[in-house]
A and B are shown apart, each in its own frame.
Chain A
Amino acid sequence: MYKFLLCWRYLKARWIALASIVSVTLGVATMIVVNAVMSGFQHEMHVRLKGILADVIIESRSFEGLPDPEAHLALIRRHVGQEVESATVSVHVPAMLSFQVGGRWITRPVTLIGIDPATCASTCRFAEYLQHPANRSRVSFQLHEGGYYTRDPEGGEKAGVRRGMDLAGWPWRRWRARQRLSAAQGTSPLEGQAKKPQGNEQSSSRDLVHLELSAAQLRQSGTSAQAAAALYESLLKQMGYRLVEKQISPQGDLELLAAPGVGGADEQSLPQDPFAAAGQQEQKTFDPAREQYTGCILGMAIASVRRSDGSEDFLLLPGDDVKLTLPTAGTPPKAVTETFTVVDFYASKMSEYDANFVFVPIDKLQELRGMLDPETGTRYVSSIQLKLRDPSKAAQVRDRLRKVFSSTYYVVQTWRDRQGPLLAAVQMETAILNVLLFLIIAVAGFGILAIFFMIVVEKTRDIGILKALGAHSTGVLGVFLGYGLSLGMVGAGAGLALGLLFVHYLNQIADGLGRLTGHRVFDPSIYYFYEIPTLVDVWTVAWIVLGALAIAVLASVWPATRAARLRVVEALRYE
């Protein structure tokens, strides 16, 4: 009993000891805050990384894809049916996106993804990243009259303005059609204002095409640098370009430089603008002010430029037309070019996705690529994506599916397998940071050790008295271990409270600091988040607190055993 009373009284009486645990408090608080922010970021990153991937992905090894997805789905249902909540199919193919800005053609490498709007939304996080409210509830490839988000809806007031988005949709398309018409007639679409004609778009100059694809982007598209290089090379060639330079870095980044073909036999046979012929033919029957091509959804970073204040300028708006050049499914692949109308943007805030993905309806893509058997009507898809009832069972489902689908023809992966290297890197970073931070608490442990020795020396006589009154050595040990534990509890408890409070008011604190120093602590234009994301994981917090307690107790073990071993007679003599 005396142990508890003494622990309590020592705790109340010794301020110096409380000072020693301030470092424990600060260590615990720091660890909680850092972990909350790290896992907040990590969570955001996971959500983003997962992006359009479902829990389990089944792909074909062949470039042509896997035939008859219905049969595959039936097989999947038979084996892991009770785990699967929903499934969707998609076609992925590397492609070239071309569009005109100010009379110049801009060409970008993209990953073209054919999706099934009906099933995709329920299987992957896709709809929630679209920029028209109607598309969020029901994905459609029809251009809307208007109503696109003019600011990022997640950002509220803090989000930057999207210049021009208020015009997006049919009004923009109509205005562009009128502009093009009047440019051809030499008059301005705006009455009274004389405007310089835009020049002949069809005969605009063609620049060098500079393609850069990071290893991560290539991984998203599911290809290697060599394969992508070969593919883009053949696409560019068929578009009338000639490869000037090709580089594959040791990290697997691909860089291609192509110039408009000159002097070669190809040059003669190709029109100066490969799109011109197609465009002119269609123009006869097609009224761009009232009709649209097949819709496509562009990754927002393809079409927009972000400024440092968080606002965005657009090279393209919903309503504009773009050309997509993609390889067919046959061997050798041939390039086909098709015009699409941008109907929406996809903004997952994962730049690798937003700068790389273009979504089109899957049946259109299958047609273009020749991914359907004309006789049987069987369609080919690149991958089948499964959403599970319990996402934590992904690895288990993957293993079961691997038994069904032979690895010679299929790749069965969870989304974590896909993003493995990146996830592992982040995990590693977190672990190292935690080790470093825990060292702070360990240092605090040495502080406790020193102060405890002082206290044991100071309390030598009291220890003697307790023993003279019949206390066992273990009891004395208990007093000091208990004291260490209670110091640890106070320290860790205060740290816990401090840390959680800090996390709770983190954004207010950051804003306050920003106002005080005139320097923005958290710049949304860098991170695409408007607030510092935090996520308090109960287990992490529990481990931190337990670790701090353990250190406090460990630091008191040595002084406490010394106290317990003190010889009574000498302790009583001690003045």
Chain B
Amino acid sequence: MNEQAIPAQGHPLLEARGVHKAYRRGAHRVEVLRGVDLAVVPGEFVAVVGQSGSGKSTLLHLLGTLDVPDQGQILFRGRRVDNVSARTRDRLRNASIGMVFQFYHLLPELTLLENVLCPWMIRYGPWAYWRRRRELESHARELLARLGLGHRLYHRPKELSGGEMQRGAIARALITQPELLLADEPTGNLDSRTGGEILRLLASLHREQGLTIVMVTHDPQVAAAADRVVQLQDGRVLAADQPAAMRAAG
């Protein structure tokens, strides 16, 4: 498994190689992931499906460098990211990975606009941020307007509907223009119509901007929006799930 083995044009953006993860609960270990292999090429929209408790969220957290595997490797743009310093991973998350969660996870004390600006505020110190705030703010406004939230800029999350919050969360994930978007049940908490809207939004982002998306869901119908569906069972990925580009190359 070295880098030469992978054809240049199919160079995966994100890769999991033999990832194991177990949680210790009291005396016994719960083996959640037992050797997951997954590769996502740039511009792909992958859905990860599996039963509740099958380890989808766990896998997504590992892919998003929020946690480190017990065994195996996670590679981003061909570089290992599971064994680097916490600081490097923080920086990578901030710059290159956007994340969307089932429960939106907006900060309740901040307005929608401030929530969207959060990744920038985390990246820049007060002085640097203050200097660029006009540019950054107008960018955030534009993005929110594009997502149909132009009239909700100064609302607190609790004044927004679920769909609006999730769109806000997507805006926050996209504000730094990451290459990769990780979504954990983005429609899980929404009714089917609003969920559909969110899905269409993700699909259009993927189509029009070539955004690479990994979406976790337990709903096959939702998964259908993706290019490729990966089945997670017994801590492993079920067969025949090579990325289309790699399949073509291999």
Closest B residue, CB atoms, query A575: B103
Choose among A2, A469, A475, A569 the residue with the greatest number of B CB atoms under 10 Å from its CB: A469
Interface check A5, CB cutoff 8 A: yes
Decide yes or no: A470 and B109 within 8 Å by CB, A1-B124, A2-B122, A569-B61 being known contacts. Answer: no
Closest A residue, CB atoms, query B94: A470
Decide yes or no: A465 and B105 within 8 Å by CB, A5-B110, A9-B110, A470-B93 being known contacts. Answer: yes
Interface check A227, CB cutoff 8 A: no
List the A side residues contacting B101 at CB < 8 Å. Answer: 572
Interface check B141, CB cutoff 8 A: no
Q: CB distance B86 to A472 under 8 Å? A: yes
Interface check A77, CB cutoff 8 A: no
Q: CB distance A470 to B66 under 8 Å? A: no
List the B side residues contacting A5 at CB < 8 Å. Answer: 110, 114, 121
Number of interface residues of B (CB under 8 A): 34
Decide yes or no: A6 and B109 within 8 Å by CB, A1-B121, A466-B122, A471-B122 being known contacts. Answer: yes
Decide yes or no: A1 and B125 within 8 Å by CB, A469-B93, A469-B119, A568-B66 being known contacts. Answer: yes
Chain A, 434-464, CB within 8 A of any chain B CB: 461-462, 464
* Whole-angstrom CA separation of A4 from B130 in the bound complex: 12
Q: CB distance B121 to A468 under 8 Å? A: no
Closest A residue, CB atoms, query B105: A465
Interface check A71, CB cutoff 8 A: no
New contact pairs (18) apart from A2-B121, A2-B122, A470-B92, CB-CB < 8 Å: A1-B125, A1-B129, A1-B130, A5-B110, A6-B109, A9-B110, A461-B105, A462-B108, A465-B106, A466-B118, A467-B90, A468-B64, A469-B119, A470-B93, A470-B94, A472-B87, A472-B90, A569-B66
Interface check B81, CB cutoff 8 A: no
Interface check B139, CB cutoff 8 A: no
Chain B, 69-104, CB within 8 A of any chain A CB: 86-87, 90-95, 99, 101
Closest B residue, CB atoms, query A2: B121
Measured CB to CB, the closest approach of chain A to B159, in angstroms, equals: 14
* Whole-angstrom CA separation of A12 from B108 in the bound complex: 12
* Whole-angstrom CA separation of A475 from B91 in the bound complex: 13
Q: CB distance A2 to B118 under 8 Å? A: yes
Q: Residue B94 contacts which of A469, A568, A572 (CB distance < 8 angstroms)?
A: A469
* Whole-angstrom CA separation of A469 from B106 in the bound complex: 11
Q: List 8 tightest A-B contacts by C-beta distance, closest first.
A: A470-B94, A2-B121, A9-B109, A1-B121, A1-B129, A470-B93, A568-B66, A569-B67
* Whole-angstrom CA separation of A473 from B86 in the bound complex: 9
Of the four ranges (under 10, 10 to 19, 20 to 34, 35 or more), the interface on chain A belongs to: 20 to 34
What is the interface of chain A mostly: helix, strand, loop, or mixed?
A: helix
Interface check B107, CB cutoff 8 A: yes
Q: CB distance A568 to B87 under 8 Å? A: no
* Whole-angstrom CA separation of A1 from B90 in the bound complex: 16
Q: CB distance A470 to B91 under 8 Å? A: yes
Interface check A516, CB cutoff 8 A: no
Chain B, 186-244, CB within 8 A of any chain A CB: none
Measured CB to CB, the closest approach of chain B to A106, in angstroms, equals: 79
Measured CB to CB, the closest approach of chain A to B103, in angstroms, equals: 8
Interface check B172, CB cutoff 8 A: yes
Q: CB distance A468 to B66 under 8 Å? A: yes
Interface check A16, CB cutoff 8 A: no
Q: CB distance B122 to A470 under 8 Å? A: yes
Interface check A425, CB cutoff 8 A: no
* Whole-angstrom CA separation of A63 from B203 in the bound complex: 109
